[in-house]
Each structure stands twice: as structure tokens, then as C-alpha cells.
Amino acid sequence: MNDACRPFREQLGSLALGHLSEAEVIPVRAHVDGCRECRAELASLAEIARMLPLADPSTIDGERVAPPAALGERVLSLVRQERRLAQRRRRSRLTGTLAAAAAAVTLVVAIAVVAPSDPDLVVTLDPEPPLATVPIQAELTAHGWGTEIRLHADGLPAGETYVVWLRQPDDERSPAGSFSAAEGAGDIVLSSSLAIDEAAGIGVSDTSGETTHYGHLPEP
């Protein structure tokens, strides 16, 4: 058999059994018509194909043949083993995905904690005697949702609660949250929905509503 016959010779059995489509039959028939060896092979295969319907695969030498008794259990065992392997592969992929997601979240948190963004504005909030005597430094950072406020409050009376707000040009106050002072230095992060360029000042009040600290913001 030469190389030109090889792709057609592999299709002769399907042709003899009638398993080729019309599009596949045309080139095979064209080759067979011009090739004596492939024509002889097809004739032999066609004879076998005509005899196949007469054969009973369940009998050999006239005796009924039963499959081995353990065949069913072997097949089920192979199926169960394949399922276990597939489940392990899925768990492994899921574990890897979750680990990658956890690492990404950890990285984001670490960046947010270790390397905060530089503030857009730093303001000193002067105390309002006699309610307060210690100034507070405020760092303001603009975001799409409003303003992040980071306060550095040193020396405030421990246990006291304070309310932080941004003052609008019409004297309306936009709340930014509250905090309780602790002994020593305090580093408090709050937020307001008011944008920096819409605020005229930033203040701190005690629980009675009296202003204890205030700082003007430059006009945008």
C-alpha cells in the first residue's frame, strides 16, 4: 500500500458498513475506482459486512456466553475511582482559587493599612477654650464618594466622646462620625459624604453640641 492509499484504506471499512456520509463517499469511491488494491480490499470487506447480520455475538460455538461475574463490580469500581479523582481535582482547583483570592484581599488590606494615600489637605483644628486646650491635626483626602478624614488627636481627656463634621458655606453641618478619646495619642479615621471642595471648614463638638475645635478650609 502506497502513501496515497493510506487515508482511503482507513475508510474502506466504514464505506463497506455504510457509515460514511455522501460527502465522504465521493472521494473514497473515486479512489477505489482507480486503485486495484483498494478495490480488492473493499470487496473483501463488503463480503464480511454482508455476513455480520448473521452472527450472534452472544454465542460462541453454539453455546451462550455470559460475562464474567466480577465484570459489573469492576466497572462500578472504575467509575467510583474516576469520580473520586474528579472530585479531588475540583477541590484542588477550588482551594487554589480561594487561596489566591485570600492572598489578593490580604495584599489590598496590607496596602491600605501600611501605605495610606497622601492627603489632599492638612488642617489644624484650633481648640475653643475653655472646652479644649489641645489642637487637633486633620488630614483630608478626596474620594469619589466624599471625603476621608484622618484625625491626629493627642492629649484629649480620656473617655470623652466627640462628634466630627464638615461645615458647608451656608453653615450647614455634614456629619462625619464620632470617636471616644483614649489616653495618649489618638489616630482616628472617619468619612463624610461631602466633597472637600464643597466644605468651608471642619469642626469637632462634644456630646452637648458645643464646638471644641474648628479649622477653616481654603476656598477651592
At 69-95, the pLDDT tens digits run 666 676 676 677 777 777 777 776 666
Backbone angles phi, psi at 201, to 5 degrees: -170, 170
Per-residue confidence (pLDDT) for residue 11, from 0 to 100:
83
Q: Could you report the per-residue pLDDT of 36-54, keeping only the tens digit for each?
A: 888 888 888 888 877 777 6
CA distance 130 to 220: 32
CA distance 47 to 84: 46
**Grid cell digits, residue 1:** 500500500
Q: Could you report the per-residue pLDDT of 136-147, keeping only the tens digit for each?
A: 999 999 999 999
pLDDT over threshold 80, residue 58: no
pLDDT over threshold 50, residue 188: yes
Per-residue confidence (pLDDT) for residue 63, from 0 to 100:
55
CA distance 56 to 61: 10
Residue 140, class by beta-carbon neighbours within 10 Å (0-12 exposed, 13-18 middle, 19+ buried)? Answer: buried
Strand partners, 139: 122, 150
Mean pLDDT of 198-212: 92
Of 116-120, 131-135, 173-177, the poorest mean pLDDT is in 116-120
Mean pLDDT of 43-67: 68
* CA 193 vs CA 50, 84, 199: distances in Å: 86, 53, 11
pLDDT over threshold 90, residue 21: no
Q: What is the mean pLDDT of the chain?
A: 79
